Amino acid sequence: MPETNVVKLMERDYFLKVYADRDFLMFEYYNSCGFQLKIGVNPFSRLGFGAMVWEAALGLCQYFEKEEIRFSDKKVIELGAGTGILSILVALLGGDVTITDKSELLKLIKRNVSYNIPSSLKPQVHVSALHWGHNHTLFPLDYDYILCSDIMYFHYNIPLILKTLLHLCSKKTIIYFASTMSYSQNVTRLGYVTLSQYFQTELVCRYDVKDVNVYRMIPNTPPTVQLDNL
């Protein structure tokens, strides 16, 4: 297994309060892969957790920088994107990216896309509502990468996330799945136990200070258990 101990997680560079904006309480600025990312957040809005930058997303951004991963000519989808910071970075690294979350978060994501993505790259960025386990079949099956960060918090979501991943995956798909392991510990650990029955799962990076794990997953062929058994 590659080196998993990384001393420090990527941190916010600075922030700027914008009281006049009812959607964003502040802009947060992060530097990754040679880009400065300007991300609007408002953790006190009705959008709640979805309007915050989560540590697992920062872990994946830093992992992509550390490993010098690029996404040119790759088709990528992110589940539960929140502010969209991770997908925005992937688009800047050349990916054709579909950024998904609940319908009420799409306005926030689109605004953050507008602040960070130059007009020349905007045709390769798509923002869509995806409700796990419900409308996932409206999305294609040919993604090169699926990205997930800090999305396993409720038991009932685990089979919905799994159904969605299984639909979106082809044999070539690589999933990067990151979690802050101390949040909803029992749910998170059960989620990874469940996913590991369907995907070959490798811990590729760990950020000890923030208790963030980054996993790389590829589909089992065939799956070791049937989905109906959940």
Pairing of strands 125-129, 145-149: unpaired
| Average pLDDT, integer, range 191-205 | 95
Percent of the chain at pLDDT exceeding 70:
92
Burial class (CB in 10 A: 0-12, 13-18, 19+), 112: buried
Give CA–CA dist 7/83, Å, rounded: 25
pLDDT of residue 16: 84
- Transcribe 182-224 into DSSP letters: TTTHHHHHHHHHHHTTTEEEEEEEEEGGGTEEEEEEEE-SS-S
Confidence of residue 202 (pLDDT cuts 50, 70, 90): very high
Q: Rounded to 10 degrees, what is the CA torsion of 18, 19, 25, 29?
A: 20
CA atoms within 13 A on the CB side of 72: 2
Higher local confidence (pLDDT), 39 or 17: 39
Q: How far is CA 90 from CA 116, 136, 140, 223, in A?
A: 11, 21, 19, 29
Q: Quick: pLDDT tens for 116-155.
A: 999 999 999 999 999 999 999 999 998 999 999 999 989 9
Residue 1 pLDDT > 50, yes or no?
no
| Domains by residue range for the chain, with CATH | 5-229 (3.40.50.150)
pLDDT, position 30: 96
**Residue 97: CB atoms within 10 Å:** 32
Instruction: Please say if the pLDDT value at position 228 is more than 70.
Output: no
Q: How confident is the model at residue 48 (pLDDT cuts 50, 70, 90)?
A: confident
Sheet holding 199-207, edge to edge: 5-6, 199-207, 212-219, 174-180, 145-149, 75-79, 96-101, 125-129
